[in-house]
């Protein structure tokens, strides 16, 4: 009769054996096929381990049945050295010397398990024992997982809970395979992405500017504006609240100040926020105004349609306080304001939201601005602005569509 054996690495081997064959003889055949020595094999049928002295027919194996081979976890190594129940060896020095003398085995260890190979070649026997214990635990986890999967294979097909576990196991296997493929073909996806920063000067003061095409406005913090000597130009008539995931107080607006990018100067306007976690953010309003191009291929920011180019900073050039993501996250949660990152931004769970400043004072309701208010909102939304920001701008300018548009464009 023919039986199929599933190996620990999930390969399938078909054997032509007699029904009265001893399990020990089947293991001998598998030793030839898999190079796994007989005493390191565990054969399971219907979730139960078969003893070497048993015959296939006596345990119920029939033509076409599936047998599972699991890794050996008994207390004796293949070299005859005794193992402790936790996977360490009784005589680590003898074990170390014996493995060192086997050049072929050492070559395999260097290739498949460099850490264990280094522990065997080293002089620290405690480190060797700890490494062996770790490998034993890993092997036990693999065995338990395989036994659970095997139990599911033979579970009652009409049992709802069993089917739920099978579904979860299949889904998890798909996730694991997807992750393995990503690690092989797209390993950079598991690295932390450094945000885009450039060197620029604001009113003659050097800054590391965060380039954010997802933020509607260019933002400067109060402390940064004070350091740049711009706080005296703050127009507090533009006080209000910036609302995103949280909210932050808008202190006002600085209508124009010089910024230097590369060797050229450009006029720029800023929204001043009481947000210490974001020093300076170069937003979409100024990116549009100065025809900036984010060139990720060359890793540069081109300004003025390419008139000047400045490189994005490498991680080593960004101050550590900026890279301290946990500190920034805690600051954002404490302040309640999250700068806009747009649909593509993910830093600190940032969500797309409007940071357009709203003047404190007389904001009119929609029904007082005329019947065409909604049509004006629709027109401006079609230009790419956030709907709530459009409504606020129209209310701010008493329904004047042109002034609202100019305001939204940062003019």
Q: Which residue matches tokens 């190594």?
A: 77
Q: Is 317 known to be catalytic?
A: no
Q: How far apart are CA 345 and CA 195, in angstroms?
A: 10
Secondary structure element (H or E) that encloses residue 164, with its range: helix 160-185
Two tokens, residue 291: 């025809």
Q: How far apart are CA 385 and CA 337, in angstroms?
A: 20
Q: How far apart are CA 68 and CA 44, in angstroms?
A: 5
Q: Is residue 119 within 8 Å of residue 128, measured between CB atoms?
A: yes
Intra-chain end-to-end CA distance of the chain, in Å: 85
Q: Which residue matches tokens 């709530």?
A: 388
Q: How far apart are CA 328 and CA 76, in angstroms?
A: 54
Estimate to the nearest angstrom the gap between the alpha carbon of 234 and the chain centroid.
Answer: 40
Q: How far apart are CA 250 and CA 334, in angstroms?
A: 16
Q: Which of 9, 63, 91, 212 is catalytic?
A: 212
- Residue burial 94-130, b: 16+ Cβ < 10 Å; e: rest: ebbebbeeeeebeeebeeeeeebbebbeeeebeebbe
Residues in the chain: 411
Q: Is residue 378 within 8 Å of residue 394, measured between CB atoms?
A: no
Q: How far apart are CA 122 and CA 389, in angstroms?
A: 66
Q: How, if at all, do strands 308-311 and 2-6 pair?
A: unpaired
Nearest to 352 by CA among 318, 385, 328: 385
Q: Which residue matches tokens 């050229």?
A: 264
Name the residues annotated as catalytic. Answer: 212
């Amino acid at each position: 009769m023919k039986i199929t054996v599933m190996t620990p690495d999930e390969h399938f081997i078909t054997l032509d054996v007699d029904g009265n064959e001893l399990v020990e003889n089947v293991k001998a055949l598998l030793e030839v096929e898999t190079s796994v020595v007989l005493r390191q094999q565990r054969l399971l049928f219907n979730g139960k381990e078969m003893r070497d002295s048993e015959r296939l027919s006596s345990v119920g194996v029939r033509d076409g049945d599936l047998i599972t081979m699991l890794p050996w976890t008994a207390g004796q190594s293949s070299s005859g050295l005794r193992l402790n129940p936790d996977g360490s060896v009784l005589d680590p020095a003898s074990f170390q010397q014996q493995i060192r003398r086997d050049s072929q085995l050492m070559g395999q260890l260097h290739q498949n398990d460099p850490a264990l190979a280094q522990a065997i070649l080293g002089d620290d026997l405690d480190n060797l024992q700890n490494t062996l214990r770790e490998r034993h635990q890993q092997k036990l986890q693999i065995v338990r997982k395989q036994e659970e999967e095997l139990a599911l294979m033979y579970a009652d097909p009409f049992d709802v809970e069993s089917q739920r576990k099978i579904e979860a196991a299949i889904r998890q296997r798909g996730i694991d395979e997807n992750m393995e493929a990503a690690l092989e073909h797209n390993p950079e996806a598991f690295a932390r992405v450094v945000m885009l920063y450039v060197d620029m000067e604001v009113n003659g003061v050097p800054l590391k500017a965060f380039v954010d095409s997802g933020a509607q406005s260019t933002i400067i913090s109060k402390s940064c504006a004070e350091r740049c000597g711009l706080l005296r130009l703050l127009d507090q008539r533009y006080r209000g609240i910036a609302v995103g995931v949280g909210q932050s107080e808008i202190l006002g607006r600085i209508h124009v100040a010089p910024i230097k990018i590369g060797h050229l100067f450009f006029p720029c306007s800023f929204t001043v926020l009481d947000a210490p976690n974001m020093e300076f953010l170069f937003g979409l309003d100024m990116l549009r105004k100065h025809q900036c191009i984010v060139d990720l291929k060359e890793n540069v920011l081109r300004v003025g349609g390419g008139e000047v180019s400045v490189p994005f900073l490498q991680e080593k050039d960004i101050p550590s306080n900026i890279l301290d993501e946990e500190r920034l996250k805690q600051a954002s949660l404490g302040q309640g304001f999250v700068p806009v990152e747009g649909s593509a931004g993910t830093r600190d769970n940032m969500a797309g939201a409007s940071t357009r400043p709203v003047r404190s004072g007389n904001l009119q309701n929609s029904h007082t601005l005329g019947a065409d208010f909604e049509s004006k909102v629709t027109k401006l939304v079609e230009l790419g602005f956030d709907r709530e920001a459009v409504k606020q701008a129209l209310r701010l300018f008493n329904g004047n569509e042109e002034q609202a548009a100019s305001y939204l464009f940062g003019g």
